[in-house]
Amino acid sequence: MSEAHAVLNALAPAEARAALARCCGSSRWVAGMLVRRPWASTEALHADAGQVWRALGGADWREAFAAHPRIGGEGGDGWSRQEQAQVGQAAADTRAALRAANDRYFERFGYIFIVCATGRSAEQMLALLQARLGNDPARELALAAEEQARITHLRLEKLSA
C-alpha cells in the first residue's frame, strides 16, 4: 500500500484540506477527515475515509457528485480526464449515447451519473448508466454513493503517486 497517510500528515492544514477536496468534493467529508489527522497508516486513512463517508447523508453525497464532470463531458481536473480517458477513444455514436443517457439520468435523479470510471470502457459505462436509469431513487443514490467511495479511495492513493 502507498504512503498516502504520510503525504497528508505532512501537509499544512490548508494544503491537506485542498488535497482531500480533490479526493472527495463533500465539504463535510473533508472536515470529518481533517479532525482525524494524523493517521498512523494508510490503512487507518482508508478506514476513516469510509467511516466518515458512511456517516454522511444524501445532501453531502450530492455535493461530492457535483464536483465531478459528466462521464464523457467537458472539464474536470487531470484526475477526472485520466479516469475517463477511454471515453475519448470511443466511437462518436457511443459518445453521443453517453451524452443523451447522462441527460436522462440527470433529469430522473437530479445529479450527475457517478461511476468509478477507472479501467472501464465507454461502452461499459454506457451500459451501467442505462441499467441504473431503471433504479428507484433511493437505490440509485446508495449505488452512486458506493461509486463515489471507490473513487475517493483511488484518489487517496493518487496523493502519494
Inform me whether the pLDDT recorded for 13 exceeds 70. yes
Annotated catalytic residue 153: no
For residues 36 and 70, give the distance between their C-alpha atoms in angstroms, rounded to a whole number: 31
Number of domains in the chain: 1
Active-site residue, selected from the candidate residues 5, 46, 68, 153: 68
* Rounded mean pLDDT, 105-134: 92
Region label for 72, one of left (φ > 0), alpha (ψ between -120 and 50) or beta (otherwise): left
Residue 35 is given by DSSP the state T
- Which pLDDT score is estimated for 107? 97
Q: Find the CATH number of the domain harbouring 70.
A: 1.10.3330.10
Percent of the chain with pLDDT over 90: 71
C-alpha span between 86 and 152 (Å, rounded): 20
In tens, the pLDDT along 41-84 reads 999 999 999 999 999 999 999 999 999 878 765 555 554 445 55
102: containing domain: 4-158
DSSP count for the chain of H helices, then E strands = 10, 0
Q: What is the mean pLDDT of the chain?
A: 89
